Amino acid sequence: MRIFNHIPAAFHWIVLSASCLALYHPPLFTWFSGNWITLGLGGIMLGMGLTLRLEDFRWVTQTPSWIITGLFLQFTVMPFLGWLLGKAFDLPPFFALGLILVSSCPGGTASNVIVFLSRSNLALSVTMTALSTMAAIVMTPLLTSSLSGNEIDVDALGLFYSTLKVVLVPVVLGVFLNARLPRYTQKIQFYSPSIAVILITLIVASIIGQGKEIILGSGGSLILSIMTLHLAGFVLGYFLSKFLLKDEVVSRTISVEVGMQNSGLGVVLAKENFVNPAVAIPAAISSLVHSLYGSIFVALFSTGSAELPPEKANKIR
C-alpha cells in the first residue's frame, strides 16, 4: 500500500507520461470516454467530499478576507486572462471558447496536493476549492456565456445542469457520508488523493488521445496560450493577494488556487455541452500544464515555509 503515498507527489509525471502515450497510441486511453469521463469526475468530487467535515469550515468566519480575496481572484483573474489570451493568440473560435471555459472553472483537487507538498495553508486551500466549486455552479456557466461573445452559441442552462450534476451532488454526498459513516470514510480518505490522480490522468489522456490530430495540427499557439494562462494565474494570484493580505503563506496558497483550475470539470462540461471535440482540448492540455507548473511551485516554496498555527495546519486530515 506504500505506493499510494507516492502517487499524488508524482502527479505531474504520471499525467505527462500518460499524455505522451496517448499521443503515441491513442487506443491506450480512448476507451475511457463517454459516460466514463463524467463518472470519473464525479468520483473525484465524491472523494473530495469524503475528506470534508462541516467543522473544517468553522475557522473561515475568523478570516473572511482570505476567502473573499481568493474567490474574487479565482473568478476574475483567470476568466479575463482566458478571454484576453484567446484574442491575443487569435485562436480558432472553439479553442478560444475552450480556453474561456477552463479558465472559468473552480480550483481542483490537484491544487490541494500542491499546497500540501509546498507546506502552505492546506485548510485554506481545501476550503477555497470547496467554496469555489459550489460557486462554479453559477459562475462557470455565467462567465463562459458572457465572455464567449456571439461567435458560438453557449447553452448556459445546460452548463449549469452539468455542473450541478458532476459537482454539487457528489460533493454533498461525500460530506453527508463522512458525517454519517466516519469510521468507513476515514479508511477511504487515505486512498482518495491517489484515486483522484488516476482518474484525472485517465480523463486527460483520453481527451488528448481523441484529439490527437487536432492537437498536432493546432501549432504552438494553443499550447503557448495555455502556458501563459496558468503562469499568469500563479503570478498574479500571488502578488495581488500579497498586496491585499500581507501574508506570505496565504498568498502562496491563493496563488496555487488561482493558477490551477479544475480542468477535469472543463473537459466534462465541454464534452456534454458542445458538439465540436476541439472545445475540450484546452482543458485537457491545461491539466498537464498546470501540474507541471505546480511541481515547480513545490520546488520553489517547499523549503523554509512559515509554520502555520496548529488549528489551521492540521484541520484537514
Domain-embedded: residue 29? no
Amino acid letter at 93?
P
Domain assignment of residue 69, yes or no = yes
Distance, CA of 147 to CA of 311 (rounded, Å)? 40
What pLDDT, on a 0 to 100 scale, did the predictor assign at position 310? 40
Single-letter amino acid code for the residue at 50: L
At residue 130, the pLDDT reads 77
Question: Among all chains, which residue has been given the C-alpha cell 465540436?
Answer: 276
Angle at 76 between CA 286 and CA 42, to 5 degrees: 50
What's the pLDDT at 89? 92
Q: What is the CATH number of the domain that holds 138?
A: 1.20.1530.20
Exposure on the CB side of residue 96, measured as CA atoms within 13 A: 20
CA gap 174, 289 in Å, rounded: 29
Task: State how many domains the chain has.
Answer: 1
The Cα 46–Cα 247 span in angstroms is 32
pLDDT value of residue 314: 40
The answer to whether 285 and 270 are in contact (CB under 8 A) is no
> Is 162 among the domain residues?
yes
- Kindly state the cell numbers that stand for 56: 473544517
Range 299-308 contact pairs with CB under 8 angstroms and sequence separation of 24 or more: 300/118, 301/118, 301/119, 301/120, 301/252, 302/117, 302/118, 302/119, 305/118, 305/119, 305/120, 305/249, 305/252, 306/248, 306/249, 308/121, 308/249
Q: Which pLDDT does position 76 carry in this prediction?
A: 94
The pLDDT value recorded for residue 132 is 85
In a domain? residue 169: yes
Q: Which three three-digit cell numbers place residue 311?
A: 488549528
Instruction: Look at residue 106 and give its three-state secondary structure.
Output: coil
- 22 located within any domain: no
pLDDT in tens, 273-304: 887 878 888 988 887 788 788 878 877 776 54
C-alpha cell at 153: 452559441
Q: At what angle do helices 263-273 and 35-50 cross, to 10 degrees?
A: 140
pLDDT at 82: 94
Query: Which pLDDT does position 255 carry in this prediction?
Result: 92
The DSSP 8-state label assigned to residue 93 in this structure reads H
Is 16 a domain residue? no
Per-residue confidence (pLDDT) for residue 316, from 0 to 100: 38
Under a CB-based contact definition with an 8 Å cutoff, are residues 209 and 22 in contact? Answer: yes
3-state SS, residue 304: coil
8 A C-beta contact, residue 113 and residue 125: no
Name residues of the chain where pLDDT drops below 70: 1-2, 4-5, 56-61, 116-117, 150-156, 218-219, 302-317
Q: What is the DSSP letter of 167?
A: I
Rounded to a whole number, what is the distance in angstroms from the first to the last CA of the chain? 18
Residue 179 lies in a domain: yes
Show the beta-strand stretches assigned E in the chain: none
pLDDT of residue 81: 95
The answer as to whether 18 is a domain residue is no
Domain that holds residue 167: 34-313
User: How long is the chain?
Assistant: 317
**CA dist., res. 67 & res. 107, Å (int):** 13
Model pLDDT, residue 151: 56
